[in-house]
A and B are shown apart, each in its own frame.
Chain A
Amino acid sequence: MKKVGLLTAAMMIAGMTTVNAQLIDEKDVTVTLDLQPVLQLDMSTPDQIEFVFDDIDEYYAGITHYGATILKVSSTVSWDLYAVGRSTGTNGPEFWDQQIDYGNSNPNAQPNLPLSLLELRQAQANNGSGAATGGFADYSGAFSPSSVPAGGNSLYVNGGTNTAPSANDKYIAGHAGTSGVAGQDFMEGGSYMNQNGVNSDYYYVIDYRILPGLPAIFPMAHDADGATAEDLVSVNGAGAYAEPGVYTMYVQYILLEDQ
């Protein structure tokens, strides 16, 4: 009888509690965020930049096209930017394509002009190159006088491929490696659109120069790290010079997530 009484009381309590619990209602709003990586390189440049050497002064002093290319970067991720010299490979993967020669049959006239004879100069220094180990981290140095051959502005070339430069080579912005330390080997995400001041890490003005010299051996041509000369005499021996003709090549600018 006692147990029955307790059980009855417990059931009453449970029943009343269930029926009269605090009233609550809920509604869920689930937010899904899809952050897609955006790397955007806006480039202002002529379709073709011509260097016509038809005057002896131009051979001596070279031809420079100032501000021929403007590179504007927008990226939502850490990024690197580099330039690489390329051709269609008519004369070999690391040489300009010879479109036509001007009838020279001299054995010292060389049709294989290295892609690295093209020099670049960037107006804004690379502020993400602390981890660079080579002699030249970028192309921000001044063009060297014709009397002083140097590889500081010589275009990076890698066997005709667009493979990224190593830590010894030149980048326009950022560098090889993924240290995760700002200023070492990457540029932080951002855009040229919300930058202030005259200098910006997201805005690069590029000058181009070709200096054939006399004889036309292109003394500024150097290998990827700028340490070894690739002028026509160094490569082909004394007496070599550039065969007159029309040559073409192209510069590929590559913006990629830091790596």
Chain B
Amino acid sequence: MHTTPPIKSLFVLVVTLLLFAIAQGQVHCGLVQIEPNSSVNAMMTFDSFSKYTGGYTINGVAKIRVRVEDKAVIDPLCSWNLTMIVDNNPAAGTPANEWEELNLYGIGSGQNPLVDALEIRIRNSCGTSPMDGIYTSFSNNMDIIDIIAPMLPVTPAGTCAINTNGPGSYMTNYDEFNFTIDIRVKPGYDFNPGIFQLNVKFKLEENI
């Protein structure tokens, strides 16, 4: 009669439990969510000189409302980070530092708009992000800008502190968990006329 040696079975069990423990150990929060997470499309039309010269601003183009909840058994390490990543669809052949070209008007000067022409400002009432209220811009495709940086020590909600990243919700701590996004483009006269596109992805993650 052929039977599995007990030592082998024990080994399989130990490895299984170890891996299970590792997988389990990466999770500290019960819920991490942006509400609503539906996408936003913002159209900026430059059809007059005042817009070319003065720029075009859309305040409150989107709101990032964060909701992070503890698990049933509270883990004190539950915290989160929020970043934004720019995507210019390089698969379409877009150079890393330019907007994706959808259509060109006329001849132009030969230079499509650069990624850094898009300025983004993040703000909330508590100013929890270190870059709160400051216009910033990307340089190249897949550049990442931290709103609340990853892997920071846990800063609990409720004190209106910078880098608040503990569990909480925009419903209970609106001033810390709601981020308003403003965008601005000031093209000047150096870019080709046409239609161009850029995608900014806001990514909320729990810290591991």
Q: Is B183 in the interface zone, CB < 8 Å from A?
A: yes
Q: Which of B126-134, B158-166, B168-176, B197-205 contacts A (4 or more CB under 8 A)?
A: B197-205
CB contacts (< 8 Å) of A29 on chain B: these are: 39-40, 42, 61-62, 181, 183, 199-200, 202
Q: Is B7 in the interface zone, CB < 8 Å from A?
A: no
Interface residues of A (CB under 8 A from B): 1-2, 5-6, 9, 12-13, 16-17, 20-38, 40, 74-78, 178, 180, 188-191, 193-194, 257-259
Cα distance, A191 to B49, chains bound together (Å)? 8
Q: Categorize the interface residue count of chain B.
A: 35 or more
Which of A37, A38, A76 is most buried by chain B, counting CB atoms within 10 A of its CB? Answer: A76
CB contacts (< 8 Å) of A180 on chain B: these are: 109-110
Starting from the known contacts A25-B204, A35-B191, A76-B49, 18 additional A-B residue pairs (CB-CB under 8 Å) come to A5-B12, A9-B12, A13-B23, A22-B206, A25-B32, A29-B42, A30-B40, A31-B183, A33-B44, A33-B99, A33-B185, A33-B187, A34-B46, A35-B193, A35-B195, A189-B188, A191-B49, A259-B107
Do B99 and A27 touch across chains, with their CB atoms under 8 A apart? Answer: no
Q: Which residue of B lies closest to A256 (CB)?
A: B106
Do A32 and B196 touch across chains, with their CB atoms under 8 A apart? Answer: yes
CB contacts (< 8 Å) of A37 on chain B: these are: 105-106, 108, 193
Do A38 and B49 touch across chains, with their CB atoms under 8 A apart? Answer: yes
CB contacts (< 8 Å) of B73 on chain A: these are: none
Query: What 1/0 mask marks residues of chain B from 105 to 130 whose CB sits below 8 Å from any chain A CB?
Result: 11111100100001000000000000
CB contacts (< 8 Å) of B107 on chain A: these are: 77-78, 178, 257-259
Do A1 and B3 touch across chains, with their CB atoms under 8 A apart? Answer: yes
Contact of A189 among B16, B29, B109 (CB under 8 A): B109
CB contacts (< 8 Å) of A24 on chain B: these are: 32, 203-206
Cα distance, A36 to B4, chains bound together (Å)? 76
Q: Which residue of B lies closest to A190 (CB)?
A: B189
Do A76 and B189 touch across chains, with their CB atoms under 8 A apart? Answer: yes
A sample of 18 cross-chain residue pairs with beta-carbon separation below 8 angstroms, ordered by A number, consists of A5-B12, A9-B15, A16-B19, A20-B27, A21-B23, A23-B29, A23-B33, A24-B203, A25-B203, A28-B202, A30-B39, A31-B183, A32-B42, A33-B99, A35-B195, A36-B105, A76-B52, A78-B107
Cα distance, A29 to B201, chains bound together (Å)? 6
CB contacts (< 8 Å) of A188 on chain B: these are: 109, 189
CB contacts (< 8 Å) of B187 on chain A: these are: 33, 35
Cα distance, A78 to B191, chains bound together (Å)? 10
Interface residues of B (CB under 8 A from A): 3-4, 8-9, 12-13, 15-16, 19-20, 23-24, 26-27, 29, 31-34, 36-49, 52-53, 61-62, 64, 99, 102, 105-110, 113, 118, 181, 183, 185, 187-206, 208
Q: Which residue of B lies closest to A189 (CB)?
A: B189
A30-B199 in contact given A23-B27, A24-B204 (Cβ < 8 Å): yes
Do A35 and B113 touch across chains, with their CB atoms under 8 A apart? Answer: yes
Do B118 and A31 touch across chains, with their CB atoms under 8 A apart? Answer: yes
Chain B nearest CB, measured from A257 CB (Å): 5
Q: Which residue of B lies closest to A6 (CB)?
A: B12
CB contacts (< 8 Å) of B203 on chain A: these are: 24-26
CB contacts (< 8 Å) of B49 on chain A: these are: 38, 40, 74, 76, 191, 193
CB contacts (< 8 Å) of B202 on chain A: these are: 26-29
Q: Which residue of B lies closest to A28 (CB)?
A: B39
Q: Which residue of A lies closest to B205 (CB)?
A: A24
Chain A nearest CB, measured from B90 CB (Å): 16
Do A30 and B196 touch across chains, with their CB atoms under 8 A apart? Answer: no
Do B195 and A34 touch across chains, with their CB atoms under 8 A apart? Answer: yes
A26-B204 in contact given A17-B23, A35-B187, A40-B49 (Cβ < 8 Å): yes
Chain A nearest CB, measured from B159 CB (Å): 24
Contact of A13 among B19, B110, B185, B189 (CB under 8 A): B19
